[in-house]
Amino acid sequence: MVDLNVDLQTTLWTVAESAAAAGVAPSTVHNWRFRGKLEVAGRDRRNRPLFRAIDVIRAEKGTRELARRVYVHQAA
């Protein structure tokens, strides 16, 4: 479980921590990164990407909002 009672502006999360906080699979976090929805904010000692907590939350929020959109087909 990821502690959300932290400074979201400065806290850096690994892919696994980001996925746990957002309630998604780690592959989703990688997809956000490759699609430009999530930017790498640093690297750990093993050169793995780290993400700002606030950016992860924003990416998750944007994804959820996009999933709720309803497209209505209008007849001509």
- The CATH number for 43's domain is 1.10.1660.10
Whether 74 is covered by a domain: the verdict is no
Q: How far is CA 71 from the centre of its chain?
A: 25
Q: Give me the mean pLDDT over the 51-55 stretch.
A: 95
pLDDT bin (cut points 50, 70, 90) of residue 69 is low
d(CA 76, CA 63): 31
pTM: 0.78
Burial of 20 (0-12, 13-18, 19+ CB in 10 A): middle
Greater confidence (68 vs 30) lies with 30
Q: Does residue 35 fall inside a structural domain?
A: yes
pLDDT at residue number 68: 76
**Inside any domain, residue 59:** yes
Give the domain extent around 43: 12-68
Task: Provide DSSP, 15-29.
Answer: HHHHHHHHTS-HHHH
Number of compact structural domains in the chain: 1
Q: Could you report the per-residue pLDDT of 25-43, keeping only the tens digit for each?
A: 999 999 999 999 999 999 9
Spatial separation of the C-alpha atoms in residues 56 and 17, rounded to whole Å: 10
